[in-house]
Amino acid sequence: MKVNVKFFLMVMLAGLMLSSCGTTSTVPLTGRKHSLLVDDQQVLSLSTQQYTQLMSKSKLSTNAQNTALVKRVGQRLATAVENYLKNNGAANELQFFKWEFNLISENQVNAFCMPGGKIAVYEGLLPVTKDEASLAIVVGHEIAHAVAKHSAEQMSKQLRQQYGSQILGSVLGSVVGQGAGDLAAQVAATGFSFANLKYSRENEYEADYMGLIFAAMAGYDPQVAIPFWQRMSSNKSAQSSEFFSDHPSDANRIAKLQAALPEAMKYYKAAKK
C-alpha cells in the first residue's frame, strides 16, 4: 500500500501542535497536571452566560428553609475553598470565582456547579441527602469540578478532537493564527453545556476526593459520605438522573471514598478545634 508522506507529515504536525499548545494547570489537593486550550476568563464568561440563561428559565424554590440551607452550605464550602487557595499560593485563582447558590423547584436528584462557582441544587436531591452534612458532600463534589477546572479540561478535549479530525491547512492555520482566544467560542458554538456536562470517570473520582476534603475543611463530618452514596445507589430516581451519567460504579466510588476518609478526618478535626 502506498503511503502519502505529505499527509502523514501533516498528521504528525497537527498532533504536535495540539499537544504543545495550551497552558499547563495544576489541580489543587491532588497535584495532577493537565493542559488547557481555553483560558479562565473565557470559561467564566461562557459559564456566567449559561447560568443566567438557565436561571431565567428555572423556577426557584419557595421553601425559605431549604433555600437558606443551600446558601449556608454553599457559603461555608466557598469560604473553605477560598482559605485553602489563599494559604497554598493560589490566591490569584479567586478572581475567577463569583459565587452564587440557588435551589431550583424541580424534582430532579441533581446538582451542579458551573465554572466560577455558579451553583444550583434541585429540590429532588434534598430527600436523598437528608441532612446538611450530606448536602455538603454533594455541593463539595460539584465545587471541586470548578476548582479543578474539569470543564476547561473537557472543552480542551473537544477542541483537540475537532482539530484532530480536520487536518487541512485552514484548520491548522486557525490554531496557530487565532490562538486560545477564540477556542472557547468555537466550543460554545457546538452547543457545549456546562449544566449537562459529562465528566470523565477520572474527573469524577478526583471531584469525589476533593469534595470530601473541602466538606471536611468546612467543618462537615466526611464520614456521612458513605451512607449518602449508599442511599444514592439504592434510589431509583437518582439512578435515572443526569447526576449518574458516565459516573464511576457505586462500589468503586464508595471504596475510594472510604480510603480517603482518614485524610479527610484530619481536616475535619482541625476545622472543629
Catalytic residues: 142
Burial 27-63 (b: 16+ CB within 10 A, else e): bbbeeeebebbbbbebbbbbbbebbeebeeeeeebee
Kind of pairing, strands 100-104 and 118-122? parallel
**Closest Cα partner for 166 from 36, 4, 14?**
14
Nearest residue to 140 via CA among 197, 81, 203, 53: 81
**Do residues 151 and 114 lie in contact, with contact meaning Cβ atoms separated by under 8 Å?**
yes
| Cβ atoms within 10 Å, residue 170 | 7
In sequence order, the 6+-apart residues with CB closer than 8 A to the CB of 150 are 199, 203, 206, 207
The three-state secondary structure class of 113 is strand
